[in-house]
């Protein structure tokens, strides 16, 4: 396996492992908890090293996971006092922990070179070279093993708890009445998130784990309404981001982790613009279509209201319609043309007259929208 392949595989596995819990996080509106946890990793790492007296990565990982759990616990404790909102609680806890970690580093680890760059955006570029050596046998890149374990863990837990997660996400009260505690599910999810974040952090650094958890899931959310599709979609999008980002970083000679996030950002933007249901482009054309239909509805209602009254003639004249309905002459003509195309009106001697089809449409409009028409 070449170095490049190892890096690429690590990136893909990491992205997929993170995207899966991300789906539930954004559905539960807890996306920023990922941010809080990943910032708390630094002090956890440092604390682990401090307790162990050495810069052993296992100790660091345990310390980091403990710090993540402490963060979640503190945030929830603060929320329970009912004096602090969820987001505020996060914004108080994780900076305090990060500040503690930075101070610990300055005081006790000033000599030890703690690579702040690596903490921020990881060193996936070197993942091929850190080998896992067990009993003298080289089992391959360490990061591949870590990511594989993470991926299996996530797939396993999320499959096992799929039904519980689904119900407690969309209807916590129902899940409670069905007999399983949404709180327990929540804590399990947070535990899974903590472990995943710490593991992924070793590859892509603190900040970018947040991107891997949130962005593919958000992109998938824009594209589908079904939970399972969203999970699978986010995994695929995460993988695509990893592959594309890798190549982007190689081309411009920048950080691979940065490249992956940039690529995920591009994919998200594409979904935001072009999603058939949620996309901004689709919304614009849908709004325009609705505007046009509403204008036609206004026109035929106006004509129907004034039919068989004294001012029928004046109200239905071409010139007057625009003024009555506050349309510009161009808008009025366009709407009349659309109504004519749909067979609802005809033009006769400078007036606009309802057809039978048009009257029928008006009747249905009144019934469906329960409009009362003054006679």
Partner 1 sequence: MSTLHDLIFDYTLRNVALGGMLLGIVAGVLGAFAVLRRQALLGDTLSHAALPGICIAFMLTNSRAPLVLLIGAGIAGWIGTLIFLRTIKATKLSEDTMLGVVLSVFFGVGILLLTFIQQQNNANQAGLDKYLFGQAASLIGRDVRTFAVLGLGALIILFLCYKEFKLLSFDPEFAASLGLPVRNLDIMLTSLLVVAVMIGLQTVGVVLMAAMIIGPGTAARQWTDNLRTMLWLSGLFGGLAGVTGAVISVQASRLPTGPMIILALTAIVAVSLLFAPRHGIVAELVRTRNKRNEFQALLEKGPQS
Q: Note the Cα 14 to chain centre separation in Å.
A: 18
Please, which residue, 87 or 365, has the CB nearer to partner 1? 87
- Using CB under 8 A as the binding rule, whether residue 112 contacts partner 1 is answered as no
Considering only residues 83, 137, 226, 367, which one is a binding residue for partner 1 as defined by CB under 8 A? 83
Considering only residues 1, 228, 252, 346, which one is a binding residue for partner 1 as defined by CB under 8 A? 252
Task: Report 314-353 residues binding partner 1 (CB under 8 A).
Answer: none
Please, which residue, 62 or 218, has the CB nearer to partner 1? 218
Tokens of 343: 């067979």
Alpha-helix residue ranges (DSSP H) falling in the chain: 3-27, 31-52, 57-80, 86-108, 116-121, 142-160, 162-170, 172-177, 182-204, 206-223, 227-252, 256-274, 280-306, 312-315, 318-324, 329-341, 356-369
Instruction: Pick the stretch among 58-66, 187-195, 276-284, 321-329 that binds partner 1 (CB under 8 A).
Output: 276-284
Alpha-helix residue ranges (DSSP H) falling in 253-355: 256-274, 280-306, 312-315, 318-324, 329-341
Alpha carbons 54 and 60: distance in angstroms, whole number: 9
Q: Note the Cα 289 to chain centre separation in Å.
A: 28
CB of 42 to partner 1, least distance (A): 9
**Residue pointed to by tokens 């009106």:** 345
CB of 29 to partner 1, least distance (A): 5
Please, which residue, 34 or 127, has the CB nearer to partner 1? 34
Considering only residues 21, 63, 258, 358, which one is a binding residue for partner 1 as defined by CB under 8 A? 258
Alpha carbons 84 and 75: distance in angstroms, whole number: 9
Considering only residues 264, 321, 344, 354, which one is a binding residue for partner 1 as defined by CB under 8 A? 264
CB of 352 within 8 A of CB of 296?
Answer: no
- Using CB under 8 A as the binding rule, whether residue 121 contacts partner 1 is answered as yes
Alpha carbons 127 and 202: distance in angstroms, whole number: 9
Instruction: Pick the stretch among 149-157, 163-171, 191-199, 208-216 that binds partner 1 (CB under 8 A).
Output: 208-216
Please, which residue, 96 or 155, has the CB nearer to partner 1? 96
- Using CB under 8 A as the binding rule, whether residue 214 contacts partner 1 is answered as yes
Considering only residues 75, 207, 332, 362, which one is a binding residue for partner 1 as defined by CB under 8 A? 207
**Residue pointed to by tokens 């810069």:** 55
- Using CB under 8 A as the binding rule, whether residue 100 contacts partner 1 is answered as yes
**Which of 70, 30, 11, 283 is CA-nearest to residue 172?**
30
CB of 234 within 8 A of CB of 283?
Answer: no
Considering only residues 265, 325, 333, 334, which one is a binding residue for partner 1 as defined by CB under 8 A? 265
Please, which residue, 51 or 281, has the CB nearer to partner 1? 281
Instruction: Assign residue 309 a region (left: φ > 0; alpha: ψ between -120 and 50; beta: otherwise).
Output: beta
Instruction: Pick the stretch among 1-9, 53-61, 272-280, 314-322 that binds partner 1 (CB under 8 A).
Output: 272-280
Considering only residues 260, 296, 339, 354, which one is a binding residue for partner 1 as defined by CB under 8 A? 260
Considering only residues 261, 296, 352, 354, which one is a binding residue for partner 1 as defined by CB under 8 A? 261
Alpha carbons 236 and 116: distance in angstroms, whole number: 31
How many residues bind partner 1 (CB under 8 A)? The answer is 61
Alpha carbons 322 and 339: distance in angstroms, whole number: 14
Task: Report 12-51 residues binding partner 1 (CB under 8 A).
Answer: 26, 29-32, 34-35, 39
Q: Residues interacting with partner 1, by CB under 8 A?
A: 26, 29-32, 34-35, 39, 78, 81, 83-85, 87-88, 90-92, 94-96, 98-100, 102-103, 106-107, 110, 116-117, 120-121, 207-208, 210-211, 214-215, 218, 221-222, 248-249, 252-255, 257-262, 264-265, 268, 272, 278, 280, 283
């Amino acid at each position: 396996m070449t170095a490049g392949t190892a890096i690429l595989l690590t990136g893909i596995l990491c992205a997929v492992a993170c995207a899966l819990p991300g789906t539930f996080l954004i559905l539960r509106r807890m996306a920023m908890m990922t941010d809080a946890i990943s910032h708390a990793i630094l002090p956890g790492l440092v604390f682990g090293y401090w307790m162990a007296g050495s810069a052993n990565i296992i100790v660091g990982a345990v310390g980091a996971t403990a710090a993540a759990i402490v963060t979640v616990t503190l945030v929830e404790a603060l929320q329970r006092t009912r004096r602090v909102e969820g987001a505020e609680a996060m914004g108080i806890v994780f900076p305090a922990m990060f500040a503690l970690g930075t101070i610990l580093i300055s005081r006790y680890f000033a000599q030890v070179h703690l690579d702040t760059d690596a903490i921020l955006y990881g060193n996936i570029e070197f993942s091929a070279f850190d080998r896992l050596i067990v009993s003298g046998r080289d089992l391959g890149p360490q990061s591949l093993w870590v990511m594989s374990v993470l991926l299996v863990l996530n797939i396993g837990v999320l499959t096992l708890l799929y039904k519980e997660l689904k119900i407690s996400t969309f209807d916590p009260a129902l899940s409670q009445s069905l007999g399983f505690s949404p709180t327990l599910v929540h804590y399990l999810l947070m535990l899974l998130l903590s472990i995943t974040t710490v593991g992924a952090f070793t590859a892509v650094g603190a900040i970018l784990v947040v991107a891997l958890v949130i962005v593919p899931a958000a992109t998938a959310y824009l594209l589908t309404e079904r939970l399972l599709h969203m999970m699978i979609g986010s995994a695929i999008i995460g993988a695509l981001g990893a592959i594309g980002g890798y190549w982007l970083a190689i081309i411009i000679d920048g950080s691979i982790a940065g490249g992956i996030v940039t690529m995920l950002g591009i994919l998200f933007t594409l979904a935001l613009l072009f999603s058939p249901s949620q996309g901004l482009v689709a919304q614009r054309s849908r709004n325009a279509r609705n505007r046009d239909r509403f204008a036609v509805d206004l026109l035929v209602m106006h004509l129907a209201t004034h039919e068989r009254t004294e001012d029928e003639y004046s109200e239905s004249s071409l010139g007057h319609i625009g003024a009555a309905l506050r349309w510009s002459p161009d808008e009025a003509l366009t709407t009349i043309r659309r109504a004519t195309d749909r067979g609802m009106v005809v033009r006769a001697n400078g007036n606009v007259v309802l057809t039978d089809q048009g009257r029928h449409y008006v009747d249905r409009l009144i019934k469906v929208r329960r409009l009362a028409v003054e006679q």
